[in-house]
């Protein structure tokens, strides 16, 4: 089954046409500005591609309504619009791409795959915030988690490469990129994750703060006379590595740290401190760890981040081989010989996860 995968991000629209064996037939990235992506360019591209048998759309937020992939119809589309308040930066972009592709390819079965769905299995103990009951029930406030498509693929791919049975397997997946999160995966199911009600919670990211004291937010609003929007904008786009080191690009931060620049050195120290603390927390949720898997732009490309994290995680049985770590590319086992925990680098392939979910849903029907 040929599947067109549509992934609407914050700065681009990614299109991947996969054949029945998941080989890439066509691929394109359309830049997206404040006005969205170029619809005429999209039409031009798709007119030259083979017609797909199905279309798989990445949708960031499924709320409480969607815990797995779903075939898109008018009712589902309206439900997705109703969830915009939960993801105001991402949901409109996903819906715009959905409408544009549907107009160009009418009659082709479309399936929505959700970044939140993989984490629908986390237990109440991990999902529940200790806030007034009426807020939780009225607004559906809980830990939703994100990057679920990446975490699902990464954990499954790691088990496959290591030829380990998924039943009972304890995998900690580290999606490290512009946005970053961890997931605790037990027997193929997410049991905890670092992102929460929004993608702001958890690890330090490129321009996002990660977890901060909620009292700090209230203090800033009161003492700096900042509006909620101003605080949200600062935490979303003026924080993280950018705030600590002056650049949001980990490659530039690492280069500056190698030159001995104090801000960059501190930024990496803080980043690693939060990362290893999060991994340790995830390992508590799974009762130990069998596999530690790195994915995403930083996870795949920064040997320094992997090395420094592994050095701090020796108490869990993590150890990496220096040469394997430095030369890792594509899907790679970087574990030190005899290490109790297998450490992997896995290429992020959300497109394969989306295509798999579309084929499985359509095949089941």
Q: What tokens were used for 98?
A: 């959905």
Q: Which one of 19, 22, 99, 115 is the catalytic residue?
A: 115
Tell me if 186 sits within 8 A of 118, measured CB to CB.
no
DSSP character for 336? P
Q: What tokens were used for 221?
A: 């609003």
Alpha carbons 55 and 18: distance in angstroms, whole number: 10
Say whether 115 is catalytic: yes
Contacts of 172 (CB under 8 A, 6+ apart): 182, 183, 184, 185, 279, 282, 283, 286, 289, 291, 292, 293
Alpha carbons 315 and 319: distance in angstroms, whole number: 10
Closest residue by Cα to residue 146 from 184, 177, 119, 176: 119
Torsion sign over Cα 7, 159, 190, 362: positive
Radius of gyration of the chain (CA): 20
Alpha carbons 147 and 150: distance in angstroms, whole number: 5
Q: Which residues are catalytic, by number?
A: 115
């Amino acid at each position: 089954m040929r599947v067109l995968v549509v992934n609407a991000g914050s700065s681009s629209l990614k299109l991947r046409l996969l054949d029945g064996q998941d080989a890439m037939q066509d691929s394109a990235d359309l830049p997206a500005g404040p006005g969205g992506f170029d619809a005429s360019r999209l039409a031009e591209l798709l007119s030259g591609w083979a017609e797909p048998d199905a279309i798989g759309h990445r949708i960031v937020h499924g709320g409480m309504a969607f815990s797995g992939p779903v075939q898109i119809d008018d009712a589902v589309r309206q439900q997705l619009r109703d969830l915009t308040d939960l993801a105001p930066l991402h949901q409109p972009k996903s819906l715009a791409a959905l409408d544009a592709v549907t107009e160009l390819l009418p009659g082709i079965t479309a399936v929505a795959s959700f970044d939140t769905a993989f984490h629908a299995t986390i237990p109440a103990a991990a999902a529940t915030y200790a806030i007034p009951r009426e807020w939780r029930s009225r607004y559906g406030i809980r830990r939703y988690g994100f990057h679920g498509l990446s975490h699902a693929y990464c954990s499954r791919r790691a088990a496959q490469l290591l030829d380990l049975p998924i039943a009972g397997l304890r995998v900690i997946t580290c999606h490290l990129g512009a946005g970053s999160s961890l997931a605790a995966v037990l027997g193929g199911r997410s049991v905890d994750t670092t992102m929460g009600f929004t993608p702001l919670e958890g690890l330090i990211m490129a321009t996002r703060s990660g977890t901060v004291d909620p009292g700090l937010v209230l203090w800033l609003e009161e003492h700096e006379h900042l509006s909620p929007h101003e605080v949200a904008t600062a935490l979303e786009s003026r924080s993280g590595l950018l705030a600590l080191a002056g650049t949001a690009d980990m490659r530039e931060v690492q280069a500056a740290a190698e030159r001995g620049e104090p801000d960059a050195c501190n930024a990496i120290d803080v980043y690693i401190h939060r990362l290893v603390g999060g991994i340790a927390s995830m390992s508590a949720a799974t009762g130990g760890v069998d596999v530690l898997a790195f994915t995403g732009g930083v996870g795949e490309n920064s040997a320094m981040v992997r090395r420094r994290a592994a050095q701090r995680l020796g108490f869990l049985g993590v150890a990496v081989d220096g040469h394997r770590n430095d030369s890792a590319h594509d899907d790679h086992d970087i574990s030190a010989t005899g290490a109790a925990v297998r450490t992997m680098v896995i290429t992020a392939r959300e497109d394969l996860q989306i295509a798999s979910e579309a084929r499985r849903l359509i095949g089941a029907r």
